[in-house]
Structure 1
Amino acid sequence: MPRYDYRCRACGSTFELNRPMSEAGAPATCPSGHDDTVKLLSTVAVTGRAGATPAPRAGSGGGCCGGGCCG
Protein backbone atom coordinates (compact mmCIF):
# COMPACT_ATOMS: atom_id res chain seq x y z
CA MET A 1 0.00 0.00 0.00
CA PRO A 2 1.45 3.41 -0.93
CA ARG A 3 2.62 5.81 1.75
CA TYR A 4 1.79 9.50 1.39
CA ASP A 5 3.44 12.42 3.20
CA TYR A 6 1.40 15.34 4.52
CA ARG A 7 2.12 18.60 6.34
CA CYS A 8 -0.29 20.27 8.72
CA ARG A 9 -0.66 23.98 8.05
CA ALA A 10 -2.00 24.62 11.55
CA CYS A 11 0.81 23.09 13.63
CA GLY A 12 3.54 22.50 11.03
CA SER A 13 3.96 18.80 11.74
CA THR A 14 4.78 16.36 8.94
CA PHE A 15 3.20 12.91 8.98
CA GLU A 16 2.71 9.85 6.79
CA LEU A 17 -0.39 7.84 5.94
CA ASN A 18 -0.66 4.45 4.27
CA ARG A 19 -3.71 4.43 2.01
CA PRO A 20 -4.85 2.89 -1.23
CA MET A 21 -4.12 4.84 -4.41
CA SER A 22 -7.86 5.33 -4.85
CA GLU A 23 -7.80 7.50 -1.68
CA ALA A 24 -4.64 9.46 -2.58
CA GLY A 25 -6.56 12.74 -2.99
CA ALA A 26 -8.79 12.32 0.06
CA PRO A 27 -8.40 14.86 2.89
CA ALA A 28 -6.11 13.89 5.76
CA THR A 29 -6.28 14.88 9.43
CA CYS A 30 -2.99 15.39 11.27
CA PRO A 31 -2.23 13.35 14.42
CA SER A 32 -3.09 16.47 16.51
CA GLY A 33 -6.58 16.60 14.98
CA HIS A 34 -6.18 19.52 12.57
CA ASP A 35 -7.93 19.32 9.20
CA ASP A 36 -5.89 21.96 7.34
CA THR A 37 -3.28 19.69 5.73
CA VAL A 38 -1.51 19.51 2.39
CA LYS A 39 -0.15 16.44 0.60
CA LEU A 40 3.58 16.71 -0.07
CA LEU A 41 5.26 15.72 -3.30
CA SER A 42 7.10 12.46 -2.74
CA THR A 43 10.11 11.32 -4.71
CA VAL A 44 11.18 7.82 -5.56
CA ALA A 45 14.84 6.89 -5.85
CA VAL A 46 15.66 4.30 -8.48
CA THR A 47 19.26 3.20 -8.39
CA GLY A 48 19.24 0.22 -10.72
CA ARG A 49 18.29 -3.40 -10.59
CA ALA A 50 20.06 -6.36 -9.10
CA GLY A 51 22.18 -8.32 -11.52
CA ALA A 52 22.26 -5.59 -14.16
CA THR A 53 25.41 -5.23 -16.23
CA PRO A 54 27.18 -1.98 -15.32
CA ALA A 55 27.60 0.63 -18.04
CA PRO A 56 31.10 0.83 -19.52
CA ARG A 57 33.36 3.51 -18.09
CA ALA A 58 34.67 6.32 -20.27
CA GLY A 59 37.94 5.47 -21.99
CA SER A 60 37.50 1.70 -21.57
CA GLY A 61 37.48 0.94 -25.30
CA GLY A 62 34.67 0.75 -27.79
CA GLY A 63 32.74 3.72 -29.04
CA CYS A 64 34.29 6.51 -31.06
CA CYS A 65 36.55 8.34 -28.62
CA GLY A 66 37.28 5.33 -26.42
CA GLY A 67 38.31 3.19 -29.39
CA GLY A 68 40.85 5.52 -30.93
CA CYS A 69 38.91 6.64 -34.02
CA CYS A 70 38.92 10.33 -33.03
CA GLY A 71 41.74 12.10 -34.51
Structure 2
Amino acid sequence: MEWDLALLPLRALEEYERVSGTRVDRDILAVMEGVRLLQTVSALAFVPRMPEMGQMLTPFVEQWRERAPLTASLWR
Protein backbone atom coordinates (compact mmCIF):
# COMPACT_ATOMS: atom_id res chain seq x y z
CA MET A 1 0.00 0.00 0.00
CA GLU A 2 1.27 3.46 -0.83
CA TRP A 3 1.27 6.40 1.60
CA ASP A 4 -0.11 8.52 -1.22
CA LEU A 5 -3.45 6.74 -0.83
CA ALA A 6 -3.96 7.92 2.75
CA LEU A 7 -6.72 10.54 3.06
CA LEU A 8 -7.69 10.40 -0.60
CA PRO A 9 -11.35 11.04 -1.39
CA LEU A 10 -13.28 7.82 -2.04
CA ARG A 11 -13.71 8.65 -5.73
CA ALA A 12 -9.94 8.99 -6.20
CA LEU A 13 -9.31 5.73 -4.34
CA GLU A 14 -11.83 3.92 -6.53
CA GLU A 15 -10.16 5.33 -9.64
CA TYR A 16 -6.79 4.15 -8.35
CA GLU A 17 -8.22 0.65 -7.91
CA ARG A 18 -9.77 0.72 -11.37
CA VAL A 19 -6.59 1.82 -13.11
CA SER A 20 -4.22 -0.40 -11.12
CA GLY A 21 -6.49 -3.43 -11.26
CA THR A 22 -5.95 -4.10 -7.55
CA ARG A 23 -8.14 -3.69 -4.49
CA VAL A 24 -6.89 -1.59 -1.60
CA ASP A 25 -7.12 -3.31 1.79
CA ARG A 26 -9.44 -0.94 3.67
CA ASP A 27 -8.22 -2.10 7.10
CA ILE A 28 -4.62 -1.27 6.25
CA LEU A 29 -5.73 1.98 4.68
CA ALA A 30 -7.58 2.93 7.89
CA VAL A 31 -4.41 2.41 9.93
CA MET A 32 -2.32 4.38 7.45
CA GLU A 33 -4.84 7.23 7.48
CA GLY A 34 -4.78 7.28 11.28
CA VAL A 35 -0.99 7.45 11.28
CA ARG A 36 -1.01 10.16 8.61
CA LEU A 37 -3.39 12.22 10.74
CA LEU A 38 -1.17 11.65 13.76
CA GLN A 39 1.78 12.99 11.77
CA THR A 40 -0.24 16.00 10.71
CA VAL A 41 -1.62 16.75 14.16
CA SER A 42 1.88 16.51 15.62
CA ALA A 43 2.71 19.58 13.54
CA LEU A 44 0.66 21.56 16.07
CA ALA A 45 3.88 21.74 18.09
CA PHE A 46 5.16 24.26 15.53
CA VAL A 47 2.17 26.61 15.72
CA PRO A 48 3.79 28.87 18.36
CA ARG A 49 6.65 29.50 15.90
CA MET A 50 4.46 29.54 12.79
CA PRO A 51 0.97 30.75 13.78
CA GLU A 52 -0.32 30.54 10.20
CA MET A 53 -0.09 26.75 10.44
CA GLY A 54 -2.85 26.66 13.06
CA GLN A 55 -5.58 27.53 10.61
CA MET A 56 -4.19 25.18 7.96
CA LEU A 57 -4.20 22.28 10.42
CA THR A 58 -7.76 22.83 11.65
CA PRO A 59 -9.44 20.42 9.16
CA PHE A 60 -6.94 17.68 10.03
CA VAL A 61 -7.47 18.17 13.76
CA GLU A 62 -11.23 17.86 13.20
CA GLN A 63 -10.74 14.64 11.21
CA TRP A 64 -8.48 13.31 13.96
CA ARG A 65 -11.09 14.00 16.62
CA GLU A 66 -13.83 12.28 14.60
CA ARG A 67 -11.85 9.07 14.12
CA ALA A 68 -11.84 6.05 16.35
CA PRO A 69 -8.58 5.87 18.31
CA LEU A 70 -5.64 3.96 16.91
CA THR A 71 -5.46 0.90 19.15
CA ALA A 72 -4.15 -2.63 19.11
CA SER A 73 -7.69 -3.82 18.35
CA LEU A 74 -7.14 -2.70 14.75
CA TRP A 75 -4.72 -5.60 14.32
CA ARG A 76 -7.13 -8.38 15.35
Shorter-chain TM-score: which interval? Answer: under 0.3
For the pair shown, which has the larger CA radius of gyration, 1 or 2?
1
Q: Tell me the TM-score normalized by structure 2.
A: 0.26
Judging by fraction of residues, say which structure has more helix.
2
Considering Cα pairs closer than 8 Å and 6+ residues apart, tell me whether 1 or 2 has the greater RCO.
2
